């Protein structure tokens, strides 16, 4: 039984989605978004074996979609469809994009559960010895391929396993610096061969050299950033001490670009941590996606031009469940001839959902551009109109 999400996807020709028949080696149904899974050396036979033996170690490495129900699942899901009715995807994003909805039994979009045993073993080893670099050979001795580790950590943490290791080392170094340990002791205790190598790695991650970030942390002058999972994919959220300054659906491959944008706009280093503003936002978004929240109480830090601020303020006046055109938006701020400028300001919004630029449509009623993708814009409007996402009723 196909949900209305399928009908929407078929109408949305701009994405030119083509459904593929199973082949000996899986090719991505949306080749423009991801490389073929053959790059990870996973054959269809291996994925079928993992799915039908319910091997949880493959959770997050690939996803299984069932054509007859319109559901996509984790490899460990108890579902047992016929082989001819399944197809495989590289990510949950691709499965949603192709018209499938998440399974309510295995919750494939919930990345906050326990990691598979092999991933947990890797993380425990790094936790015990953060200055140790686990090589590909050592991973192989643990029964883990570098490709599998890379894929799983990218999907769940937005970085490769090597980057995750480096982040843990830097986080430990940051804690030591904050606690007053001499920089020289920190550098060599965490496996770095020189001060310059440590400073370069630290500045690339946090946006400032060690001393500046430690000072920022003590003073509170930094941006906290976290991923927040949602039924429509991950959102990168960032906040100052008490206000949200960034919220966008984020392809994890754009993580570094988005960090640069945040740093450029606010001139502050970014720390991969949380704060009260982010946790409040997480709770409110959870209620929003359940259709239980129409208004957000989280404070915003927009930092735009005076004209952008006028447009963004007016966007927040559009009632939940309703839409307006760019022409109406321009008239509402008293500048009816500034339609193009209003559209540019709308597109410059970097706090999605809370500043609901998705509620602006073309004057003919057609959907227009949206940074998170038109398919997400369509689903957000449906959520606000009906109180639930397709397939959740």
**SS3 labels along the chain:** CCCHHHHHHHHCHHHCCCCCCCCCCCCCCCCCCCCCHHHHCCCHHHHHHHHHCCCHHHECCEEEEECCCCEEECCCCCCCCCHHHEEEECCHHHHHHCCCEECCCCCCCCCCCCCCHHHHHHHHHHHHCCCCCCCHHHHHHCCCCHHHHHHHHHHHHCCCHHHHHHHHHHHHHHHHHHCCCCHHHHHHHCCCCCHHHHHHHHHHHHCCCHHHHHHHHHHCCCEEEEEECCCCCCEEEEECCCCEEEEEECCHHHHHHHHHHHHHHHCCCEECCCCHHHHHHHHHHHHHHCCCCCCCCCCECCCCCHHHHHHHHHHCCCCCCCCEEHHHHHHHCCCCCCHHHHHHHHHHCCECCCCCHHHEECCCCCCCCCCCCHHHHHHHHHHHHHCCCCCCC
Which of the residues are catalytic? Answer: 357
**287-339 tens-digit pLDDT:** 999 999 999 999 999 988 999 999 999 999 999 999 999 999 999 999 999 99
Give residue 218's pLDDT. Answer: 52
Give residue 9's pLDDT. Answer: 33
Q: Which residues contact 223 (CB under 8 A, 6 or more apart)?
A: 238, 239, 240, 245, 246, 262, 263, 266, 268, 269, 270, 271
Give residue 239's pLDDT. Answer: 93
Structural domains in the chain, CATH included, are 4-102 (3.40.10.10), 117-207 (1.10.10.60), 223-284 (3.30.160), 306-386 (1.10.10.10)
Give residue 133's pLDDT. Answer: 78
Q: In the chain, which stretches have pLDDT less than 50?
A: 1-41, 112-113, 219, 252-253
């Amino acid at each position: 039984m196909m949900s209305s999400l399928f009908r929407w996807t078929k109408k949305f020709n701009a994405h030119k989605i083509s459904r593929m028949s199973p082949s000996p080696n899986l090719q991505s149904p949306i080749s423009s978004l991801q490389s073929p899974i053959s790059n990870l050396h996973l054959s269809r036979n291996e994925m079928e074996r993992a799915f039908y033996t319910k091997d949880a170690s493959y959770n997050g490495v690939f996803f299984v979609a069932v054509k007859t129900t319109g559901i996509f699942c984790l490899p460990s899901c108890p579902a047992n469809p016929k082989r001819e009715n399944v197809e495989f995807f590289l990510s949950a994003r691709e499965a949603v994009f192709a018209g499938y909805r998440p399974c309510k039994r295995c919750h494939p979009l919930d990345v906050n559960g326990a990691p598979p045993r092999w991933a947990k073993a890797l993380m425990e080893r790094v936790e015990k010895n953060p200055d140790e670099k686990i090589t590909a050979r050592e991973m192989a001795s643990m029964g883990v391929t570098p490709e599998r580790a890379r894929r799983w950590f990218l999907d769940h943490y937005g970085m490769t396993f090597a980057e995750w290791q480096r982040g843990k080392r830097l986080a430990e170094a940051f804690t030591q610096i904050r606690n007053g340990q001499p920089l020289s002791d920190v550098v060599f205790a965490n496996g770095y061969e020189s001060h310059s190598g440590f400073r370069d790695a630290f500045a690339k991650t946090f946006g400032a050299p060690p001393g500046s970030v430690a000072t920022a942390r003590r003073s509170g002058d930094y941006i906290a950033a976290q991923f927040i999972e949602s039924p429509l994919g991950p959102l990168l959220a960032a906040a100052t001490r008490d206000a949200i300054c960034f919220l966008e659906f984020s392809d994890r491959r754009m993580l570094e670009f988005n960090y640069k944008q945040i740093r450029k706009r606010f001139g502050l280093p970014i720390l991969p941590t949380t704060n009260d503003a982010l946790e409040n936002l997480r709770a409110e978004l959870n209620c929003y996606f359940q259709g239980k929240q129409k208004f957000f109480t989280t404070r915003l830090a927009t930092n735009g031009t005076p004209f952008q601020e006028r447009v963004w303020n007016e966007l927040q006046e559009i009632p939940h469940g309703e839409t307006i055109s760019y022409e109406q938006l321009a008239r509402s701020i008293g500048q009816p001839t500034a339609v193009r400028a209003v559209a540019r300001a709308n597109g410059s919004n970097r706090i999605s959902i809370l500043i609901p630029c998705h509620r602006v449509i073309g004057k003919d009623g057609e959907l227009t551009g949206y940074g998170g993708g038109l398919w997400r814009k369509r689903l957000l409007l449906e959520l606000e109109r009906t109180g639930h996402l397709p397939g959740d009723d």
